[in-house]
A and B are shown apart, each in its own frame.
Chain A
Amino acid sequence: MVEVLIQDSSMLKVDKHYEEGLLDLAIKASKEILNDQLKIDALIVSNSYSEKTADQVLLSTKLANSLGINTLTFRIENGDASGGAAISTAYYMIKSGMIKTALVVGVEKLGDFPMHFVNDIISQNLDEKFSYREGLIPQSYSALRMKMYMKKYNVDYDYFTEWPYLMHKNGAENPYAFLRFQADKKTISTSQVVSDPLRLFDTSPRADGAAAILMTSDDVNLKTEGKVKIASITSANSEFNVLELPAVREAFNKTKDFKPEILEIHDSYSINAALILEEIGLEKGKSLSMLDSIQVNFSGGLKSRGYPGGATGIYQIAEEYMQLTEKFPGKRASGERGTVISTDELGTTSYIINLQRC
C-alpha cells in the first residue's frame, strides 16, 4: 500500500502584500521547496476568489509556466475549504499510484480591498438565488449562531473572549502571523460590533498569503529535513445548521480512532471554533472554557495568523507539518499526531486531515 508523505513546506507571512500579485506570491512560496532534481507530477493550486480579486483564471497553468514545470496542472476551489480539498486531491492521486509527487500551492489576495468589497467577495459563499441576492453577509449567519448558542448554553459574551485571547497569545509568537500582537479581553469585548453580538475580534482578518506543500509517495527519497505521513483524510458536507456542524462531526467520526495531540482548526469565527471543538468531543456549551486542556491553533489560527481565503488550509497543513517536524518558529506543541480541520466560512463542508510524524 502506497503511503503519502509531506516532505517539505513553505509559507509567506500573511499580510497585505500590496507590491505583489497573485502569481508573484505563488511563485515566492513555491520556489522555497523546488529544486532542479525534483520532478513534479502534478501542480495543484488552492484558491477560491481569483476571478473577483485579481481578474484571473488559469492560475495553475500560469504558475507552472512561471516555474518552468510542464506537468498536470489544475486549480481546486471549494471556498475557504479549498486547501483541504486540494490536499485531499493530491493525497488520492498519490495513493492511487498514478503519480508520485504533487506540489500543492495555496494562494489568495484579499488585502487589496475595503471591507464592504471583501464582504461581497465572501458572500459568494451564500446561495445565489436568495441569500446572496438579498444582500446578506456570512457574518450575520455567525451572529445568529452565536446569539442562539448563548441562549441555549446560558453563556454571556465574555465566554467567547477566551478564543481570540488565546489565538492572539499564540499568534504573537508566530513570525508568519498577520496580526502578531496580544489582545486583552477588554479590547476584545469592546471591539466594534460587526453583527450583534458578533464583534470584530470574533471574526478573522482577510489578507493575502501563499503557502506550499510538497507531497510524495513513500518511495520518493528527498533530502528534506523532516517527513510526515498523512495517516488518513475524511470529508463530509451538510446544509447550514445553526447550532451544529454536521459536516465536521461526520468527517471526524469516520476517523475518531486517530486521537490527535495537536489541532489546527478553521476558526473563521469564535463561534465556529466552539462548535468545531464540541463536534470533536469537547463538552457542549463549555469548550471555550476548556482550552487549557488541548493543543489547538498554536499558529494563532485565522484570528491572528490571518485568513487568506482558499490558501488557509495549506497554511494549516504547513503549520502542522512544521510542528510535527519540530521546525515551527513560534509556540511549539508536543506530540506525534496532528489533525487539521479545513472548512468553509460557515462549516458546511469539512476535510479532516490526520498527520503523523515518520
Chain B
Amino acid sequence: MKVFPPQLWRNKETLYTLIAGKCNKCGNIVFPYQEFCNKCKSFNISKIKLSGKGTLISWTVAYQNRPGFEKTTPIYVGYIKLDEGIEIVAPLTDVDESNLKENSRVEATVRKLKSDSTNGLIEYGIKFRLV
C-alpha cells in the first residue's frame, strides 16, 4: 500500500483547493497553510483560498521520477507566480511544449497524481495548465 487515506485527508485543502494562510498583522501569505506567520511571528492567521491563477516564470522537464509517477514522466514542472504574489513550484499538465513561454498565464486544475495499483486508491492533487 502506497497511498494512505489519512495522509491525503489531512492535506485535502492543500492538494485540492490551494488553501493558504494570510497573516492579519503583516499580510504575509504562507502556502501550504500554517497557523503561524513566519515573517512577523503572529498567530493571527486567516485561511484564504488562492485563486489558482498565475504567471509562468520558468519551467523544466524532468526525465527522472519517483515510484508511482512513471506514467506521467517526463514531468513538466513550473515556477509560478500566483496572482496573490507568492511563488510556487508545481507540476504542469496538458503541456504542448511549443506553447510554453515565459509570462504565460496558467491556472490550477485537479488531476490524478498516482494510485496504489490498477484497482487501488487514487491520490489527486493540483497541477497547472496554460490558460
Report if A123-B66 is in contact (Cβ < 8 Å); known contacts: A129-B32, A135-B91, A144-B77. yes
Closest Cβ–Cβ distance, residue A144 to chain B (whole Å):
5
Cα-based distance from A10 to B52 in the complex (angstroms): 52
Closest Cβ–Cβ distance, residue A325 to chain B (whole Å):
40
Give every chain B residue within 8 A of A133 (Cβ-Cβ): 7-8, 11, 14-15, 113, 123, 125
Q: Which of B11, B59, B64 has the most CB of A within 10 A?
A: B64
Interchain CB contact under 8 A, B91 and A134:
yes
Closest Cβ–Cβ distance, residue B118 to chain A (whole Å):
18
Interface residue? B36 (CB, 8 A): no
Interface residue? B63 (CB, 8 A): yes
Interchain CB contact under 8 A, A135 and B79:
no
Q: Report A136-162 CB contacts with B as 1/0, cut-off 8 Å.
A: 110111011001100100000000000
Q: Report B53-83 CB contacts with A as 1/0, cut-off 8 Å.
A: 0000111111111111110100101010000
Give every chain A residue within 8 A of B68 (Cβ-Cβ): 135
Interface residue? B26 (CB, 8 A): no
Interchain CB contact under 8 A, A195 and B61:
yes
Residue in contact with A135 in the complex, picked from B7, B14, B59, B114, CB distance below 8 Å: B114
Residue in contact with B62 in the complex, picked from A115, A192, A195, CB distance below 8 Å: A195
Interchain CB contact under 8 A, B14 and A129:
yes
Cα-based distance from A183 to B64 in the complex (angstroms): 23
Q: How many of A's residues come within 8 Å of B, CB to CB?
A: 32
Interface residue? A120 (CB, 8 A): yes
* A226-259 interface with B by 8 A CB criterion: 239, 242
Interface residue? B89 (CB, 8 A): yes
* A193-238 interface with B by 8 A CB criterion: 193-198
Interchain CB contact under 8 A, A140 and B89:
yes
Give every chain A residue within 8 A of B72 (Cβ-Cβ): 135
Closest B residue to A114 using CB positions? B67
Give every chain A residue within 8 A of B123 (Cβ-Cβ): 133
A-B contacts besides A116-B70, A130-B32, 14 pairs, CB < 8 Å: A116-B66, A116-B67, A120-B66, A127-B32, A129-B32, A133-B113, A135-B114, A136-B77, A137-B66, A141-B89, A144-B58, A144-B79, A147-B58, A197-B60
Where the two chains meet, the residues of B that have a C-beta atom closer than 8 Å to any C-beta of A are 7-8, 11, 14-15, 31-32, 38, 57-70, 72, 75, 77, 79, 87-91, 113-114, 123, 125-127
Q: 5 nearest interchain CB pairs?
A: A143-B60, A129-B32, A195-B62, A135-B69, A140-B77
